[in-house]
Every structure is written in C-alpha cells, then in structure tokens.
C-alpha cells in the first residue's frame, strides 16, 4: 500500500521556525505571533492529487497540486513571494521545490507511525515540524 497523507494533523513541535521565518524576511511582530501558533493541517490525497489546508488562529494557507506538475504558488498570507513549485515523490516522501527569489526554498513531508513530519527549507535554514493525527 502506498503512503496516504490524508487526514487531520495537529502541530506538536516546531524547531528553528523563527530562523526559517527570518530567512523569508518576515518582520519581528509577525514572527512573535507566528511562533506561538499551533497550526492544524487537513490533507486530502487522491492518487497523485493533493490539497493541504494549514489553519491557525492568525493566518491560514491553502495549496493544491499534482505530483510532477509545476504550479504557481502565491504564498498568500505568508511571505507573499510568488514561486514556481513542483512536488515529487522521493520514495514515500513528498518533496516540494519552490523556485523563486529565495535560494534553496522548499519542503518535505513524510509519515512515521501516527506522526506527520514537515521540513521547511529556505536559504541556509531548516525548520522541522512534527504533527500528530487529530
């Protein structure tokens, strides 16, 4: 059985998020609020089609994509920089490359047990988040 990311996931830990936001140029006040948040992700996966809704009390973000198909990402409510994004499989990991003004930007999702992992990358910063099934 291939991995299925579908479900509702709650943030349990976030490491280096502040430095990741700093690399994205997020201002001080926004970073202070953002780092207190406990976002929830709702992922819908049908074959190679995905939607990922990340919600919090402050900002929310929605993205949908098909594996291997480049799309324009607006990062609305985040850093607002547009990028060309593409998500591919690396074995059972979902790997997104976000090409734009920021070097080395992207993320990787994978599942281990009942936990969802997310690594967020920008320039020389890596943020590691762990989510648990709701």
| Shortest CB 91 distance to ligand 1AG, Å | 18
Closest CA to 45 of 32, 29, 63, 60: 63
By CB under 6 A, is residue 63 in contact with ligand 1AG?
yes
Give the CA radius of gyration of the chain. Answer: 14
Residue nearest to ligand 1AG (CB): 34
CA distance 106 to 93: 13
Q: Could you give the C-alpha distances from 126 to 23, 59, 104, 129, in angstroms and in order?
A: 10, 21, 10, 10
Contact between 24 and ligand 1AG per CB under 6 A: yes
Residue 78 CB, shortest distance to ligand 1AG, in Å, is: 4
Single out the residue of 10, 59, 66, 115 in contact with ligand 1AG (rule: CB under 6 A).
59
Site membership for ligand 1AG, residue 9 (CB under 6 A): no
Interface with ligand 1AG by CB under 6 A: which range of 2-10, 48-56, 64-72, 98-106? 48-56
Q: Are 101 and 117 in contact (CB under 8 A)?
A: no
Q: Pick one of 23, 34, 83, 111: the residue that binds ligand 1AG (CB under 6 A).
A: 34
Number of H helices, E strands in the chain: 2, 10
In Å, how far are 21, 69, 116 from 15, measured between CA atoms? 12, 30, 14
List of residues contacting ligand 1AG (CB under 6 A): 21, 24, 26, 30, 34, 37, 39, 41, 52, 54, 56, 58-61, 63, 78-79, 107, 118, 120
């Amino acid at each position: 059985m291939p991995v299925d990311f579908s479900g509702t996931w709650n943030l349990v830990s976030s490491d280096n998020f502040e430095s990741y936001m700093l690399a994205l140029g997020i201002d001080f006040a926004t970073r202070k609020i953002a780092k207190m948040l406990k976002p929830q992700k709702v992922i819908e996966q049908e074959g190679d089609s995905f939607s990922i809704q990340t919600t919090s009390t402050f900002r929310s973000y929605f993205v949908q994509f098909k594996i291997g198909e480049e799309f324009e990402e607006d990062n609305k409510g985040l850093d607002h920089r547009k990028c060309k994004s593409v998500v591919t499989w690396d074995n059972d990991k979902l790997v997104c490359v976000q090409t734009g003004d920021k070097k080395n930007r992207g993320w990787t999702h994978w599942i281990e047990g009942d936990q969802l992992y997310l690594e967020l990358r920008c320039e020389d910063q890596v943020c590691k988040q762990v989510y648990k099934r709701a």
